[in-house]
Structure 1
């Protein structure tokens, strides 16, 4: 999935979570989702985050390959524990969710993800789309429309805008 698709679909999932829990759809929460939804692709130098990683991406890909360690639920669990131990801020919650959503989104790609790395290298998948193809584009637009619908119906955009004032 391309970076913009990860961002929009993760924000859509994050909006649904916020609409059905006590989480606030704030600037901090959405920023966490965006960062978390991009970080797993640090293992691909040509990715959006990889091109901005000052060489870190090359080292990660060399050591673990693309969609390797960074796409594992085991690694996600460790990151989630550390993030939540250090800070239970809305940014941290959004980051942990965004990272998980990224793994879930790539689970539906033809390449799949090694959910239980390092215990097994087997890639798990329900192959629905190939990166950049028509189906991914359709998923992007559907997620965008659903994000707008949920955000409007649940007044999440107003909540987001109100939280923006706390940063000024």
Structure 2
């Protein structure tokens, strides 16, 4: 699916969760789902995130960029023994060396990213951000299971998994679903803040 679709799916999930929580947490949950909904595509050199991070949008530069950052984080871990740096370094290297819809779209990726998110929120205290990130990440993978290419759920094994019913990336059905979820999100927010009474 396209990046904007993942973002809209994340927004809809974030709005749905946030509306049942304290009003102070709404922005953090929605921010978390927005980040989480884009994060799995960090393995693609031309993803929304890598458009900002990578100077050159190709596979070789992506591998070099993330591997060097990962090695730097592992070096910091060797100096201070903080497990956050070990986990971040490992994830960063795996992002660099895996192909699109590989590591970041797998059960291993979910586990490591969620563990990192949980550890960071315990360290800094943004529980709602973690909740949003977790939900956004999961919804990204569920959405990609509806594409023909599927995802490598059992990475490092290369078998792709997808639902029997598939949606063409950038096709009419994806655009309709995006539009409906966007309307739902704005309607829900406006209704929550009493701008709509029906």
Above 0.5 in TM-score? yes
What residue in structure 2 maps to residue 122 of structure 1?
Answer: 159
TM-aligned CA distance change 1:100 to 1:23, over 3 Å: farther
**Which range moves more in the overlay, 104-113 or 61-70?**
61-70
How far does residue 153 in structure 1 lie from its aligned partner after superposition? 4.0
1:135 and 2:173 equivalent?
yes
What residue in structure 2 maps to residue 83 of structure 1?
Answer: 117
Matches within 5 A, 1:93-108: 93-108=131-146
- Report SS of the residue matched to 2:47: coil
What residue in structure 1 maps to residue 102 of structure 2?
Answer: 68
What residue in structure 2 maps to residue 161 of structure 1?
Answer: none
Matches of 1:115 and 1:37, distance apart in 2: 17
Deviations 1:116-156 (A, max 9, x none): 223x3221112421211111111110111221233344449
Deviations 1:98-118 (A, max 9, x none): 111111111111111112223
| C-alpha contact 1:34 1:95 (8 A) present in aligned 2 | yes
How far does residue 82 in structure 1 lie from its aligned partner after superposition? 2.3
| C-alpha contact 2:105 2:151 (8 A) present in aligned 1 | yes
Larger Rg: 2
Match of 2:189 among 142, 151, 167: 151
Deviations 1:82-111 (A, max 9, x none): 211331512222122211111111111111
The answer for unaligned runs of 5 or more in structure 2 is 64-93
**Which range moves more in the overlay, 142-151 or 52-61?**
52-61
- Report SS of the residue matched to 1:38: helix
How far does residue 35 in structure 1 lie from its aligned partner after superposition? 1.3
The answer for unaligned runs of 5 or more in structure 1 is 158-168
How far does residue 23 in structure 1 lie from its aligned partner after superposition? 6.3
TM-aligned CA distance change 1:79 to 1:48, over 3 Å: same
Matches of 1:115 and 1:65, distance apart in 2: 13
Matches within 5 A, 1:53-64: 53-54=53-54, 58-59=62-63, 63-64=97-98
TM-aligned CA distance change 1:107 to 1:40, over 3 Å: same
Q: TM-score, normalised by structure 1?
A: 0.78
